């Protein structure tokens, strides 16, 4: 099987007007020209800027090295859902990926695992790659329940035929500037790999596992040096082209020293 690229996904959240999007995308494109083909960038601006971002990428002929994604989608294809965006609408304006189940959606909008699973199904039905976020709170971590929480989120959020990406974002790390230790992260990745292997009804499971949660250029080298990491989901740092590309370059620097692999390779 072909090896998957390292994925560097930027989640802009509720940031980005037309002028700023143009400037940021142009800077990202310019800085990305030296990246190897096996590092892929995914930029997830707010819905209002997806088409603009995609137009800039097409005009500069970046091919598949940089693509755009959405930050959420509705579980239904269409209907009376004021203010919502369907997966097909995202695909129609050029999105290739969609982030689902982010902790901010789970907490601020009360999204459940069952709802996220319906969104996953909707995304896959139109060819979008779902990036499903899971993670434990500090309270759950301190009580020793992190493993059971992650298992429950995987069971509830993923379909049995899931064909996408899993993003581990410990809630206690988001926006804190703190990340798990290398040993903690490696143990969690091993756990997640086992859970995916036992839950998904597929003979060959190649679900990339990303890390998200206060990813900065300073931390990127250590995180991306872990063999089983498929990439990173970047929040605040993705709004600065220099910082975002420093993270992407950290992925590039590790490609020559270790093979890219799925989360279950030895």
Binding site residue list for substrate: 11-13, 175, 214
d(CA 204, CA 107): 33
Tokens 């091919």 belong to which residue? 63
Known binding residues = 11-13, 175, 214
Spatial contact of 147 and 191, defined as CB atoms under 8 Å apart:
yes
d(CA 162, CA 124): 8
Q: Which residues are within 8 A (CB) of 184 and not within 5 positions of it... i.e. 6 or more apart?
A: none
Query: Would you please indicate which residues are annotated as catalytic (active-site) residues?
Result: 102, 169
Q: What is the DSSP letter of 236?
A: G
Give ∠ CA 45-152-208 in degrees, rounded to 5: 50
Question: The tokens of 2 are what?
Answer: 């072909």
Spatial contact of 23 and 57, defined as CB atoms under 8 Å apart:
no
Phi, psi of 229 (to 5 degrees): -75, 130
Q: Sign of dihedral through CA atoms 28, 256, 97, 103?
A: negative
């Amino acid at each position: 099987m072909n090896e998957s690229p390292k994925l560097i996904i930027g989640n802009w959240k509720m940031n980005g007007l037309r002028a700023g999007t143009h400037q940021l995308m142009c800077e990202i494109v310019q800085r990305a020209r030296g990246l190897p083909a096996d590092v892929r960038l995914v930029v997830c601006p707010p819905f209002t800027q997806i088409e603009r971002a995609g137009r800039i990428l097409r005009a500069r002929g970046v091919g598949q090295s940089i693509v755009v994604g959405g930050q959420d989608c509705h579980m239904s294809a269409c209907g009376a859902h004021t203010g919502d965006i369907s997966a097909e609408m995202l695909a129609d304006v050029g999105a290739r990926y969609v982030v689902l189940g982010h902790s901010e959606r789970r907490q601020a909008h009360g999204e459940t695992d069952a709802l996220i699973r319906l969104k996953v199904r909707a995304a896959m039905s139109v060819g979008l790659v779902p990036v499903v976020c899971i993670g434990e709170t500090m309270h759950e971590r301190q009580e020793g329940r992190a493993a059971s929480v992650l298992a429950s989120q995987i069971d509830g959020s993923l379909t049995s035929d899931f064909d996408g990406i899993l993003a581990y974002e410990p809630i206690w790390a988001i926006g804190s500037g703190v990340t798990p230790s290398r040993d903690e992260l490696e143990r969690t990745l091993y756990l997640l790999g086992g859970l995916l292997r036992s839950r998904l009804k597929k003979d060959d499971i190649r679900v990339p596992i990303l890390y998200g949660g206060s990813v900065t250029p300073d931390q990127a080298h250590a995180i991306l040096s872990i063999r089983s990491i498929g990439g990173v989901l970047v929040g605040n740092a993705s709004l600065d082209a220099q910082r975002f590309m420093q993270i992407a370059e950290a992925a590039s620097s590790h490609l020559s020293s270790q093979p890219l692999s799925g989360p279950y390779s030895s």
